Amino acid sequence: MRPRTELLRFSLFALALTLAIPARAAADESPSRKDVQMVAPALDKYTQDRLLSDVWKRPGLSRRDRSVVTLAALIGRNETIALTDYLKLALDHGVKPAEISEIITHLAFYSGWANAMAAVVVTKDVFAERNIGPDRLPATSPALLPLNEAAEADRAKRVGDQFGAMFPGVCNTRPTFCSATCGCVRT
Protein backbone atom coordinates (compact mmCIF):
# COMPACT_ATOMS: atom_id res chain seq x y z
CA MET A 1 0.00 0.00 0.00
CA ARG A 2 2.79 2.43 0.78
CA PRO A 3 4.27 2.57 -2.78
CA ARG A 4 0.79 3.32 -4.09
CA THR A 5 0.40 6.24 -1.66
CA GLU A 6 3.80 7.61 -2.66
CA LEU A 7 2.90 7.25 -6.35
CA LEU A 8 -0.34 9.16 -5.75
CA ARG A 9 1.52 11.86 -3.80
CA PHE A 10 4.12 12.16 -6.60
CA SER A 11 1.37 12.34 -9.24
CA LEU A 12 -0.40 15.13 -7.36
CA PHE A 13 2.92 16.98 -6.96
CA ALA A 14 3.64 16.63 -10.70
CA LEU A 15 0.15 17.88 -11.54
CA ALA A 16 0.51 20.87 -9.20
CA LEU A 17 3.91 21.69 -10.69
CA THR A 18 2.53 21.46 -14.22
CA LEU A 19 -0.32 23.82 -13.36
CA ALA A 20 2.00 26.27 -11.59
CA ILE A 21 4.37 26.71 -14.52
CA PRO A 22 2.98 29.19 -17.05
CA ALA A 23 2.57 27.76 -20.52
CA ARG A 24 4.97 29.04 -23.18
CA ALA A 25 3.41 29.75 -26.52
CA ALA A 26 5.04 27.65 -29.20
CA ALA A 27 4.76 30.68 -31.48
CA ASP A 28 7.89 32.04 -29.75
CA GLU A 29 9.81 29.24 -31.44
CA SER A 30 8.76 30.10 -34.99
CA PRO A 31 11.86 30.19 -37.21
CA SER A 32 12.60 33.28 -39.27
CA ARG A 33 12.96 33.03 -43.02
CA LYS A 34 16.73 33.44 -42.59
CA ASP A 35 16.76 30.52 -40.11
CA VAL A 36 14.96 28.33 -42.64
CA GLN A 37 17.36 29.38 -45.43
CA MET A 38 20.37 28.49 -43.24
CA VAL A 39 19.01 25.05 -42.36
CA ALA A 40 16.78 23.99 -45.25
CA PRO A 41 17.12 26.29 -48.28
CA ALA A 42 14.95 24.01 -50.42
CA LEU A 43 12.16 24.27 -47.84
CA ASP A 44 12.37 28.07 -48.05
CA LYS A 45 12.21 27.89 -51.85
CA TYR A 46 9.15 25.60 -51.76
CA THR A 47 7.52 27.88 -49.18
CA GLN A 48 8.04 31.00 -51.30
CA ASP A 49 7.55 29.55 -54.80
CA ARG A 50 4.90 26.91 -54.28
CA LEU A 51 2.99 27.64 -51.11
CA LEU A 52 2.92 31.44 -50.93
CA SER A 53 2.89 32.00 -54.69
CA ASP A 54 1.17 29.12 -56.48
CA VAL A 55 -1.19 27.75 -53.82
CA TRP A 56 -2.29 31.06 -52.28
CA LYS A 57 -2.88 32.67 -55.68
CA ARG A 58 -5.05 29.95 -57.23
CA PRO A 59 -8.39 31.33 -58.46
CA GLY A 60 -10.69 28.81 -56.72
CA LEU A 61 -10.79 30.58 -53.34
CA SER A 62 -10.23 34.16 -52.24
CA ARG A 63 -7.25 34.88 -50.00
CA ARG A 64 -9.73 35.58 -47.20
CA ASP A 65 -11.35 32.15 -47.60
CA ARG A 66 -7.94 30.46 -47.83
CA SER A 67 -7.02 32.20 -44.58
CA VAL A 68 -10.14 30.87 -42.83
CA VAL A 69 -9.44 27.33 -44.05
CA THR A 70 -5.77 27.57 -43.08
CA LEU A 71 -6.57 28.83 -39.57
CA ALA A 72 -9.04 25.98 -39.11
CA ALA A 73 -6.47 23.41 -40.24
CA LEU A 74 -3.71 24.85 -38.03
CA ILE A 75 -5.95 25.06 -34.96
CA GLY A 76 -7.39 21.60 -35.60
CA ARG A 77 -3.90 20.10 -35.79
CA ASN A 78 -2.58 22.22 -32.89
CA GLU A 79 0.10 23.73 -35.15
CA THR A 80 0.76 26.78 -33.01
CA ILE A 81 4.23 27.50 -34.42
CA ALA A 82 2.81 28.72 -37.73
CA LEU A 83 -0.40 30.15 -36.25
CA THR A 84 0.98 33.62 -35.44
CA ASP A 85 1.98 34.35 -39.02
CA TYR A 86 -1.25 32.98 -40.46
CA LEU A 87 -3.38 34.94 -37.97
CA LYS A 88 -1.68 38.13 -39.12
CA LEU A 89 -2.14 37.11 -42.74
CA ALA A 90 -5.82 36.35 -42.10
CA LEU A 91 -6.37 39.80 -40.58
CA ASP A 92 -4.56 41.35 -43.55
CA HIS A 93 -6.82 39.37 -45.91
CA GLY A 94 -10.00 40.70 -44.31
CA VAL A 95 -10.88 38.04 -41.74
CA LYS A 96 -12.44 39.95 -38.84
CA PRO A 97 -11.28 39.45 -35.23
CA ALA A 98 -14.84 38.35 -34.35
CA GLU A 99 -14.64 35.67 -37.04
CA ILE A 100 -11.30 34.41 -35.69
CA SER A 101 -12.84 34.26 -32.21
CA GLU A 102 -15.78 32.24 -33.55
CA ILE A 103 -13.45 29.90 -35.50
CA ILE A 104 -11.54 29.11 -32.30
CA THR A 105 -14.74 28.60 -30.30
CA HIS A 106 -16.32 26.41 -32.98
CA LEU A 107 -13.20 24.26 -33.34
CA ALA A 108 -13.09 23.60 -29.59
CA PHE A 109 -16.01 21.24 -30.16
CA TYR A 110 -14.53 19.56 -33.24
CA SER A 111 -10.77 19.48 -32.68
CA GLY A 112 -10.53 19.52 -28.91
CA TRP A 113 -10.59 22.01 -26.09
CA ALA A 114 -6.81 21.92 -25.70
CA ASN A 115 -6.27 22.87 -29.34
CA ALA A 116 -8.64 25.81 -28.96
CA MET A 117 -6.93 26.93 -25.75
CA ALA A 118 -3.51 26.73 -27.44
CA ALA A 119 -4.91 28.89 -30.25
CA VAL A 120 -6.20 31.38 -27.65
CA VAL A 121 -2.68 31.77 -26.21
CA VAL A 122 -1.23 32.58 -29.63
CA THR A 123 -4.16 34.72 -30.82
CA LYS A 124 -4.12 36.80 -27.63
CA ASP A 125 -0.65 38.09 -28.52
CA VAL A 126 -1.59 38.83 -32.14
CA PHE A 127 -4.73 40.68 -31.01
CA ALA A 128 -2.68 42.69 -28.48
CA GLU A 129 -0.11 43.57 -31.15
CA ARG A 130 -2.91 44.81 -33.44
CA ASN A 131 -4.77 46.63 -30.62
CA ILE A 132 -7.81 44.38 -30.98
CA GLY A 133 -9.91 44.52 -27.83
CA PRO A 134 -12.99 42.70 -26.55
CA ASP A 135 -15.24 45.32 -28.14
CA ARG A 136 -14.39 43.81 -31.56
CA LEU A 137 -15.28 40.26 -30.50
CA PRO A 138 -18.69 38.55 -30.52
CA ALA A 139 -20.93 38.58 -27.47
CA THR A 140 -20.93 35.46 -25.33
CA SER A 141 -24.72 35.20 -25.69
CA PRO A 142 -25.77 36.77 -28.97
CA ALA A 143 -29.20 38.38 -29.22
CA LEU A 144 -31.66 35.99 -30.81
CA LEU A 145 -34.01 37.00 -33.58
CA PRO A 146 -37.61 37.57 -32.50
CA LEU A 147 -39.96 34.64 -32.88
CA ASN A 148 -42.49 34.97 -35.70
CA GLU A 149 -45.51 33.53 -33.93
CA ALA A 150 -47.77 33.58 -37.00
CA ALA A 151 -45.20 31.63 -39.03
CA GLU A 152 -44.74 29.14 -36.17
CA ALA A 153 -48.52 28.62 -35.92
CA ASP A 154 -48.70 28.10 -39.69
CA ARG A 155 -45.80 25.61 -39.56
CA ALA A 156 -47.46 23.69 -36.71
CA LYS A 157 -50.73 23.53 -38.66
CA ARG A 158 -48.95 22.20 -41.78
CA VAL A 159 -47.11 19.57 -39.75
CA GLY A 160 -50.35 18.59 -38.02
CA ASP A 161 -52.20 18.38 -41.34
CA GLN A 162 -49.45 16.18 -42.84
CA PHE A 163 -49.33 13.98 -39.75
CA GLY A 164 -53.14 13.74 -39.64
CA ALA A 165 -53.22 12.67 -43.30
CA MET A 166 -50.66 9.92 -42.57
CA PHE A 167 -52.34 8.79 -39.32
CA PRO A 168 -56.07 9.56 -39.39
CA GLY A 169 -57.59 10.10 -35.99
CA VAL A 170 -54.30 11.12 -34.34
CA CYS A 171 -53.05 14.68 -33.95
CA ASN A 172 -49.43 15.46 -33.13
CA THR A 173 -49.89 19.21 -32.88
CA ARG A 174 -50.26 20.96 -29.59
CA PRO A 175 -53.93 21.58 -28.77
CA THR A 176 -53.43 25.33 -29.18
CA PHE A 177 -52.31 24.78 -32.78
CA CYS A 178 -54.73 21.98 -33.66
CA SER A 179 -56.93 22.99 -36.51
CA ALA A 180 -60.54 21.97 -36.86
CA THR A 181 -59.76 20.50 -40.29
CA CYS A 182 -56.97 18.14 -39.21
CA GLY A 183 -59.42 15.33 -38.43
CA CYS A 184 -57.90 14.46 -35.06
CA VAL A 185 -59.83 12.83 -32.28
CA ARG A 186 -59.47 14.93 -29.16
CA THR A 187 -59.87 13.22 -25.87
Q: What is the CATH number of the domain that holds 107?
A: 1.20.1290.10
Please indicate, yes or no, whether residues 93 and 182 belong to a single structural domain of this protein: no
* pLDDT 10s digits, 86-111: 999 999 999 999 999 999 999 999 99
- How many domains does one find in the chain? 2
Whether 90 is covered by a domain: the verdict is yes
User: How many Cβ atoms sit within 10 Å of the Cβ of residue 87?
Assistant: 27
Q: What is the mean pLDDT of the chain?
A: 80
Q: What are phi and psi of 142, to 5 degrees?
A: -65, 150
Q: Taking a C-beta distance cutoff of 8 angstroms, is the pair 107, 119 a contact?
A: yes
Q: Which of 136, 158, 173 is the last residue of a domain?
A: 136
Do 120 and 89 have their domain in common? yes
Residue 56 and residue 123 share a domain:
yes
Same domain, 132 and 72: yes
In Å, how far from its chain's centre is CA 155?
32
- Does one domain contain both 187 and 131? no
The answer to whether position 8 is within a domain reads no
pLDDT at 75 over 60: yes
Same domain, 122 and 37: yes
Pick 62 or 168 by higher pLDDT: 62
Q: For residues 55 and 63, is the Cβ–Cβ distance under 8 A?
A: no
Phi then psi dihedrals of residue 184, to 5 deg = -80, 160
73/111 same-domain check? yes
The reply to whether 157 and 92 lie within a common domain is no
Helices and strands (H, E) in the chain, number of each type: 8, 0
119/155 same-domain check: no
- Cα(186)–Cα(29) distance, integer angstroms: 71
Q: Would you say residue 62 has pLDDT above 70?
A: yes
Domain that holds residue 167: 148-187
Residue 7 included in any domain: no
Strand (E) positions, 54-122? none
